[in-house]
Structure 1
Amino acid sequence: MHPAAPPLTALKQVDTRLVEDIRRKEEAGDETGEERMYLLCKTCGNAITSESYCMEVNGSHRHTFMNPRGIVFNIGCFSSAGGCLIIGVPTTEYTWFPGFTWCCVICSQCLSHLGWRYQSGSGGFFGLILDQLSRQ
């Protein structure tokens, strides 16, 4: 497992594009007729991201990793996760993606651990624990 997360005093709100997108769709209705699949926090139902933000890192959207404690995580990579908060100071310790620093991310509503934010000089992404998300 990645090292313990720092205290919640280090919380930082991340990209709010998803939340704004959801509000806009609810207010205006989806004029395109295209149904968008949202991924919600399994614990509280908060909208975390959308399948439209899926992306590939190192040739794949999905990755399976084991942390130093032997816990296996199946994660998906997303360019945005507006329903998350980033906690902690970026670190390279035990990074699963060489060249990237990481911080933990939690649900902005219930504070459940949902994954990690990875950042490098060329950009970043969210590695979200797929078992912690449900589809809507």
Structure 2
Amino acid sequence: MYGVASKSAFAITTTTTSVPVAVALLLATLSVSSLFRPVLSEADSSEAALQEFIICRQCGTDIADSYYIETHKSPSATIYSNITLFGKRGVDLQVLINPIGIQFKIVNTPKALCSGVGDWVPADSWYPGFAWKFCVCPQCSTHLGWIFEPTLTATADRANPSNKGFYAIIVDNVLSEKLVQSLMVSPDLIQS
């Protein structure tokens, strides 16, 4: 746990967060979300300005851009909600349960920077006709979700999804860039 200081009218107070210092330092110096977004028209730019980059909760590595979140409804979803998440309206959040009973809140995106590990597994897929493999943070190897690929194209030499495949990102294992930035403190606020 790390403390974040804030300056009030009378004193400096400290609140506790679970954001690693590395995340705060990374975001203080670098924002790469614009590298993943296409060039947008003026009409589209106001919507894109509300969206944000999604980072690994453990180490702060850039994982995905909320601009690309899309819907892949799973017939296995126990809960399905259309919400505003990561600065994007209309995000389809699904709750899925794996064969051993663990629940995961996930969102889908066709583009992400997490690394696929292991072999493609066609059994126990939440998406019929798709094989899956684990997806981990390329920096710290935290499990961030899964890659899903149509079974016909899920070959041993395919590391990333094709244009018909996608990533399922575990919401509880990532943070939004703007949330972390809101928790950061300027050195000027700490001085009295």
Judge same fold: TM > 0.5, yes or no: yes
1:71 equivalent in alignment to 2:91: no
1:109 equivalent in alignment to 2:139: yes
Runs of 4+ aligned residues of structure 1 deviating over 4 Å after TM superposition are: none
Q: CA RMSD in A?
A: 2.3
Higher normalized helix content (fraction of residues): 2
- % identical aligned pairs: 28
State the distance in 1 between where 2:106 and 2:33 align.
Answer: 27
3-state SS, counterpart of residue 123 of structure 1: coil
Count of residue pairs the alignment pairs up: 109
* Equivalent residue, structure 1, for 2:121: 91
For normalisation by structure 1, the TM-score amounts to: 0.72
3-state SS, counterpart of residue 52 of structure 1: helix
| Distance change in 2, residues 1:93/1:37 (3 Å) | same
Structure 1: which amino acid aligns with 2:107? G
For structure 1, the 5+ residue unaligned runs are: 1-20, 26-31
Post-superposition offset of 1:58? 2.5
Post-superposition offset of 1:63? 1.4
1:48 equivalent in alignment to 2:63: yes
For normalisation by structure 2, the TM-score amounts to: 0.52
For structure 2, the 5+ residue unaligned runs are: 1-30, 36-44, 75-79, 81-91, 153-162, 178-192
Which of structures 1 and 2 has the larger relative contact order (alpha carbons within 8 angstroms, sep 6+)? 1
| Distance change in 2, residues 1:23/1:134 (3 Å) | closer
